[in-house]
């Protein structure tokens, strides 16, 4: 989880708008197969499947959710 917070802080450290500078992560929610405990980690098989992480990240300003705006 530390990487999520570090990347968020780095992205907004040089922000020019005040609302971006004040942007914060309020909550990180893990959902999907890892949250349920039934993830798949079989990269060595013929299918080579490995579950990904599904994250919902709640931030302080809705504008932070639009990639174009940051």
Q: What's the CA gap between 27 and 29, in Å, rounded?
A: 6
Q: Report the share of the chain in percent with pLDDT over 70.
A: 94
Mean pLDDT of the chain: 86
Q: What's the CA gap between 64 and 25, in Å, rounded?
A: 10
Instruction: Give per-residue pLDDT as tens, 27-47.
Output: 999 999 999 999 999 988 888
pLDDT at position 70 is 44
pLDDT at position 16 is 82
Q: What's the CA gap between 3 and 48, in Å, rounded?
A: 26
Q: What's the CA gap between 38 and 9, in Å, rounded?
A: 32
């Amino acid at each position: 989880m530390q990487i999520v917070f570090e990347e968020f802080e780095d992205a907004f450290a040089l922000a020019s708008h005040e609302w971006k500078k004040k942007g914060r992560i309020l909550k990180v929610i893990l959902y999907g197969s890892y949250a349920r405990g039934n993830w798949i980690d079989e990269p060595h098989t013929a299918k080579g499947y490995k579950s990904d992480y599904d994250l919902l990240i709640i931030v302080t300003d809705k504008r932070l959710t639009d990639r174009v705006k940051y």
